[in-house]
Amino acid sequence: MAGAKMARRSRQAPPLLLHLLLGFLLLVHVPSAAPQSFIGINYGDVADNLPPPSSTARLLKSTTIGKVLFADDATLAAQLVPALQNVYDALPPNSSIKVSTVNAMDVLASSDPPSSGAFKPALAAALDPLLAFLSKTGSPFLVNPYPYFAYQDDPRPDTLAFCLFQPNAGRPDAGSGLTYTSMFDAQVDAVRAALDAKGYKDVEVVVAETGWPHSGGADEAGASVENARAFVSGLVSHLRSLVGTPRMPGKSVDTYLFAVYDENLKPGKASEKSFGVFQTTLTETYPTGLMRNGTAGLAPAPAPTPAQKVPPASPPPATPQVTPTPPVQPGAAAASRHTRSAAESSRTFSALHLFACFGFMALLV
Q: List residues with catalytic annotation.
A: 209, 263, 266, 272
Helix H or strand E segment including 143: strand 141-144
292 CB burial (10 A radius; 0-12, 13-18, 19+):
exposed
Amino acid of residue 338: H
Query: Where would I find the H helices in the chain?
Result: 53-61, 80-89, 124-137, 147-153, 157-163, 183-197, 225-240, 351-362
Are 236 and 253 spatial neighbours (Cβ–Cβ below 8 Å)? Answer: no
Closest by CA to 129, choosing from 106, 104, 101, 96, is 101
Three-state DSSP class for residue 87: helix
Q: How far apart are CA 32 and CA 66, in angstroms?
A: 14
Are 235 and 255 spatial neighbours (Cβ–Cβ below 8 Å)? Answer: yes
Are 78 and 129 spatial neighbours (Cβ–Cβ below 8 Å)? Answer: no
Q: How far apart are CA 14 and CA 37, in angstroms?
A: 29
What DSSP string describes 265-276? T--SSGGGG---
Dihedral sign, CA of 185, 188, 194, 198? negative
Contacts by residues 29-37 (CB-CB < 8 Å, ≥ 24 positions apart): 29/66, 29/67, 35/242, 35/250, 35/251, 35/252, 36/242, 36/252, 37/239, 37/240, 37/241, 37/242, 37/252
What DSSP string describes 6-60? ------PPPTTEEEEEEES-SSS----SS----EEEE-----S-PPPHHHHHHHH
Longest pairwise C-alpha distance within the chain? 55
